[in-house]
Amino acid sequence: MIDTILRVPVFSRLLVGVVIGAVFGALTSLVNNVPGMLGEVGQAHSEDSAATWAAIFISLILDSGWAWAALAFVLGCLTGTAVRPVKAAIAGAAAGAAGLLIATVAYYATDLLFGIDAYWRTVGYWLVRAVVFGLLLGIAGALARRRGAVGFLAALTVPVGAAMNMVVFPLRSGLPGESSAAGWAQATVWVAAASGAAVAILRLLTWARRTLRSKATLPCEHLPEFADRHLNARPATARIHGPLGSACCSRRRVSSRRWAVSLSTGLRRRP
């Protein structure tokens, strides 16, 4: 699915990001209202049905700040695929801001369908934050596609943000009668954050290993070509014509080639 999205033009990917944002916002509001739809509000969580337990679990994950930040980050990563960093950053910023903006509108619009009033001051507050943080997180998502230290630091945006979210605003409060879904949701976020950081570190180490390997093997790969080009060169006045000259030139070329190959092999085996 990701490969299919990356093949379409940037404008089409922006539209896909808008659709993803709308679905994300509407789904977050929907799972928040599932207990009310089932009439299981105000009862002990020990009496919750499986549907309510699953809704609480998903709601605690989707309705967290790190999840909304991850939305803008992912949209920026999927859209900011241009070769030039500036164009990639612009596309990523536009996708992140648009996705968060539409997600916020879809969230409050779905709340209205369930009879929950949305105050314009509150909606405006979150819309402004969606644009500001959407731009920054979209740029971070576009930078995460790059290799090296820049891409590594950008890729840590979501894992570090999720970990900080769990430390500052933990999902599990520890109060009596709390749903067990809170503990499972918090554990899931911690596992996801650790997995994301591990993937970023593994990607950095793979890039570093390939870079060092290419630098170590590049001169050896060109030694035979260097030998043919330079060791066989001779002044024009020293050319020998006839069968004897051809045999001498051929023998000299073979010997230089063997020297280059043996030298390159020795360099590769050298610790």
Render pLDDT for 48-92 as a digit per residue (tens, 0 to 9).
899 999 999 999 999 999 999 999 999 999 988 777 888 889 999
Tell me, yes or no, whether 40 and 73 share the same domain.
yes
10 or 176: whose pLDDT is higher?
176
7 or 124: whose pLDDT is higher?
124
Angle at CA of residue 65, ends 42 and 87, nearest 5°? 150
Could you tell me the residue range of the domain that residue 19 belongs to? 2-213
Q: If we measure between CA atoms, which residue out of 134, 154, 135, 136 comes closest to residue 144?
A: 154
Q: What is the distance between the alpha carbons of residues 23 and 128, in angstroms, rounded to a whole number?
A: 20
How many structural domains does the chain have? 2
Tell me, yes or no, whether 71 and 185 share the same domain.
yes
Tell me, yes or no, whether 147 and 227 share the same domain.
no
Residue 3 structure tokens: 């490969």
Tell me, yes or no, whether 107 and 230 share the same domain.
no
Tell me, yes or no, whether 203 and 146 share the same domain.
yes
Q: What pTM did the predictor assign? A: 0.74
- Report the pLDDT value the prediction gives residue 216, as an integer from 0 to 100: 67
Mapped onto helix, strand or coil, the DSSP state of residue 146 is: coil
Tell me, yes or no, whether 247 and 192 share the same domain.
no
pLDDT band (50, 70, 90) for residue 11: confident
Contacts of 231 by beta carbon, 8 Å cutoff, 6+ apart = 256, 259, 260
**Segment among 18-27, 206-215, 233-242 with least mean pLDDT:** 233-242
In single-letter form, the type of residue at position 5 comes to I
Q: What is the distance between the alpha carbons of residues 108 and 161, in angstroms, rounded to a whole number?
A: 24
* Contact of 101 with 127, CB cutoff 8 Å: yes
Tell me, yes or no, whether 163 and 254 share the same domain.
no
Tell me, yes or no, whether 128 and 257 share the same domain.
no
Q: Which of 192, 213, 234 is the last residue of a domain?
A: 213
Question: SS3 helix, strand, coil % of the chain, rounded to 5?
Answer: 80, 0, 20
Q: What is the distance between the alpha carbons of residues 139 and 39, in angstroms, rounded to a whole number?
A: 43
The Cα-based distances of 147 to 4, 204, 230 in angstroms read: 22, 7, 36
Tell me, yes or no, whether 146 and 244 share the same domain.
no
Tell me, yes or no, whether 125 and 235 share the same domain.
no
CA 148, 151, 153, 159 torsion: positive or negative? negative
Tell me, yes or no, whether 233 and 202 share the same domain.
no
Task: Name the average pLDDT for the chain.
Answer: 81
pLDDT band (50, 70, 90) for residue 133: very high
Q: What is the distance between the alpha carbons of residues 215 and 263, in angstroms, rounded to a whole number?
A: 17
